[in-house]
Structure formats: structure tokens, C-alpha cells
């Protein structure tokens, strides 16, 4: 029977002993896991925790600044690094999903390593790894699904980083992480944030990535997510987002026929992300959102809704 307060007490004491007066560097993603991990570490070792939040240019609309502001308000020692250009350069011309993930992972490590090198005497890398990540990475080390989760860095680090890993959440499921976050007094809005993939919008733009496509998808996504919030639906959904398809279809604008992009909307319910069902969002809502997207986002003239469950489908499209 899991009790958040007891967990916090135990894990903070354990980390104090383990880390002592060493410095720890941790990459924040804006998500629940890395934030809760950071607050726990901060409780254990205070300002010896150095957090880095990287803008990979693949975040949601306005997310870099708003999340950075939120972290500063929480007393975390955090540096925001805008590396968008580096990520766009690394992604240029790549359309294979695994190639995109690898390029993003590599760019992230480079940026992170540059930043970590500016800090002296860092001995540890903090990570917000949770139990499902551990499981999926174990199954990804062999067997037929070896490439499924190449993005999770569990248990292995590039040699040049030479840091020991500390992962305070590695035995917890997502709902337990949220309960721990709540007992630490972390803002409900942050705790209730939907999971978001590390490679961000890059795996929701099928095909190659350009800053223009990112800008289109950010607008579409913002209409969808804000709409869910305004209609009281956001908290009923495990995860939602829009996918920019590499497909053009015919539309009409005024007297003209247009030939523009199709976006898919995806919203799922789940308890752990391992299985998921599509959410039966109200037709009225879907109608309103699709009109808003088509009327306001240049370059998109058709919206479709994804009704696949995981398995056999996945939450993301690539």
C-alpha cells in the first residue's frame, strides 16, 4: 500500500546518504516525472542540484517560456537553454522515425553535455525515470521489439558523460508519481499535465521536420489542448495531441479549391500508458475544434479523429 509521505521521507533520506555533498545535474522536460524527481532531489541536496531545461524547438506553443517561469517560481535552480536551431539542423532531411529519434537524442546529449561541462565537479546525473520506462527498456535490450524504445536512456549513458545515475522514481507508476508530487506541494496544473514524448512534436509530424511544419502543428495543438481545457475535458484524458500528416487533400476557401494538409487529433484514456483506448469526445466538441482549426490555421484544410486503441495501435503515430 503506497503512501506518498512515507515514500518522500524514505527516498530523501536515502539520497542524502547516497549523494552527500556532491553535485547533481538533471534535465527537466516540463513534464511530471522530471519535475517531481527534481523537487525530491532539491529537498535532499538543495542548491547542489543543477537543472537544465532545453528548448529543442519541438515543444508546444509558448511552452519553453511558461514552463521556465513555473520552475523559477518553485525555487529550483534551473537554466533554460534555447537550442532549437541545433535540433532543426540535426533533423534536416530526416524522415525515418527512428532516425529522427536518434538525431534528437544525440543533439540533446550534446547540448546537455556542453552545459554540464560548464559546471565543475558534477558527479551525478538525476533522471525522472519511472517504472514503466524501466520495464520497456529491459524488453528493448533484446528480442523482437529491440527498437521499440530506443529513446529511453535507462542504465546506459554515453561514456563521455561519466556520471553516476540517480533515479528517485524508478519504482513508481505515473499515478504514484502524481501523488508524490501532490504531497510535495507541486502545482496541480503541472501534476495534471498530459505525458508528452521527449522527441516532442517531431514524432507528431510524419515525415521530415521543418520549422514551418512545427509552427503549423503548434497552432493546431494549441487549439485542441486549450479547447479540451475550456470544455472541462482535459483532466478526463490521459494524453492528447495533434498529428500533422504528410497528406494533402482538397478543400475550399472562398471560391477557390485548396490542396492542403490534413491533421489527425488523438485523445486517449489509460492508466499507465501501456494500453490505451480512444476517448469518446463529444461530437459537438469535435465539430467546434475542427472548425476552429480549419478557419484559423493556415495550411490545414481537413481534420480527422483517430479512433484506434493501443494495442494493436500505439498512442503516437510513429
**Interface residue list for ligand XMP (CB under 6 A):** 101, 151, 195, 197-199, 203, 239, 273, 310, 314-316
Give the nearer residue to ligand XMP in terms of CB position, either 43 or 278. 278
Phi-psi region of 262 (alpha: psi -120 to 50; beta: other; left: phi over 0): beta
User: Closest separation between CB of residue 150 and ligand XMP, Å?
Assistant: 8
Give the nearer residue to ligand XMP in terms of CB position, either 207 or 251. 207
User: Closest separation between CB of residue 302 and ligand XMP, Å?
Assistant: 23
- Collect all residues with Cβ–Cβ distance below 8 Å to 47 and sequence separation of at least 6: 77
Q: How far, in Å, are 24, 37, 41, 179, 235 from residue 305 at the CA level?
A: 43, 34, 40, 32, 19
User: Closest separation between CB of residue 73 and ligand XMP, Å?
Assistant: 25
Peptide bond before 209: cis, by omega within 30 degrees of 0?
no
User: Closest separation between CB of residue 41 and ligand XMP, Å?
Assistant: 20
Give the nearer residue to ligand XMP in terms of CB position, either 195 or 251. 195
CB distance 207 to 285 below 8 Å: no
Give the nearer residue to ligand XMP in terms of CB position, either 23 or 60. 60
Give the nearer residue to ligand XMP in terms of CB position, either 46 or 156. 156
By beta-carbon distance, which residue lies closest to ligand XMP? 198
What is the 3-state secondary structure of 107-169? HHHHHHHHHHHCCCCEEEEECCCCHHHHHHHHHCCCCCCCCCCCCCCCCCCCHHHCCEEECCC
Give the nearer residue to ligand XMP in terms of CB position, either 44 or 196. 196
Which residues are annotated as part of the binding site for ATP? 29-35
CA 238 to chain centre: 13
Give the nearer residue to ligand XMP in terms of CB position, either 126 or 198. 198
User: Closest separation between CB of residue 17 and ligand XMP, Å?
Assistant: 30
User: Closest separation between CB of residue 266 and ligand XMP, Å?
Assistant: 10
Give the nearer residue to ligand XMP in terms of CB position, either 22 or 318. 318
User: Closest separation between CB of residue 241 and ligand XMP, Å?
Assistant: 8
| Chain position carrying cell 543533439 | 107
User: Closest separation between CB of residue 55 and ligand XMP, Å?
Assistant: 16
- Collect all residues with Cβ–Cβ distance below 8 Å to 17 and sequence separation of at least 6: none
Which residues are annotated as part of the binding site? 29-35
Per-position b or e across 61-97, b if 16+ CB within 10 A of its CB: bebbeebbebbeebebebebbebbebbbebbeebeeb
Amino acid at each position: 500500500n503506497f503512501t506518498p509521505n512515507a515514500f518522500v521521507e524514505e527516498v530523501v533520506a536515502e539520497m542524502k546518504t547516497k549523494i552527500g555533498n556532491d553535485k547533481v545535474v538533471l534535465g527537466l522536460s516540463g513534464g511530471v516525472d522530471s519535475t517531481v524527481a527534481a523537487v525530491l532531489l532539491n529537498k535532499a541536496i538543495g542548491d547542489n542540484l543543477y537543472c537544465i531545461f532545453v528548448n529543442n524547438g519541438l515543444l508546444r506553443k509558448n511552452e519553453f517560456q511558461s514552463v521556465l517561469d513555473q520552475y523559477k517560481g518553485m525555487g529550483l535552480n534551473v537554466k533554460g537553454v534555447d537550442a532549437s536551431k541545433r535540433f532543426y539542423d540535426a533533423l534536416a532531411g530526416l524522415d525515418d522515425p527512428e532516425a529522427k529519434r536518434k538525431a534528437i537524442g544525440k543533439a540533446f546529449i550534446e547540448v546537455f553535455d556542453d552545459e554540464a561541462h560548464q559546471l565543475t565537479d558534477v558527479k551525478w546525473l538525476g533522471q525522472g525515470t519511472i517504472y514503466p520506462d524501466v520495464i520497456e527498456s529491459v524488453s528493448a535490450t533484446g528480442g523482437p521489439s529491440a527498437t521499440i524504445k530506443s529513446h529511453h536512456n535507462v542504465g546506459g549513458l554515453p561514456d563521455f558523460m561519466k556520471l553516476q545515475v540517480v533515479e528517485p522514481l524508478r519504482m513508481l507508476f505515473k499515478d504514484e508519481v502524481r501523488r508524490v508530487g501532490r504531497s510535495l506541494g507541486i502545482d496541480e496544473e503541472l501534476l495534471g499535465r498530459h505525458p508528452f514524448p521527449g522527441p516532442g512534436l517531431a514524432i507528431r509530424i510524419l515525415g521530415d521536420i521543418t520549422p514551418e511544419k512545427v509552427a503549423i502543428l503548434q497552432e493546431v495543438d494549441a487549439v485542441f489542448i486549450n479547447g479540451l481545457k475550456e470544455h472541462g475535458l482535459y483532466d478526463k484524458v490521459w494524453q492528447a495531441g495533434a498529428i500533422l500528416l504528410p497528406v494533402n487533400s482538397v478543400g475550399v476557401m472562398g471560391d477557390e479549391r485548396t490542396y492542403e494538409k490534413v491533421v489527425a487529433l488523438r485523445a486517449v484514456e489509460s492508466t499507465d500508458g501501456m494500453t490505451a483506448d480512444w476517448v469518446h469526445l463529444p461530437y459537438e466538441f469535435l465539430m467546434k475544434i475542427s472548425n476552429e482549426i480549419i478557419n484559423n490555421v493556415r495550411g490545414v484544410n481537413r481534420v480527422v479523429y483517430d479512433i484506434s486503441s493501443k494495442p494493436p495501435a500505439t498512442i503516437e503515430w510513429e
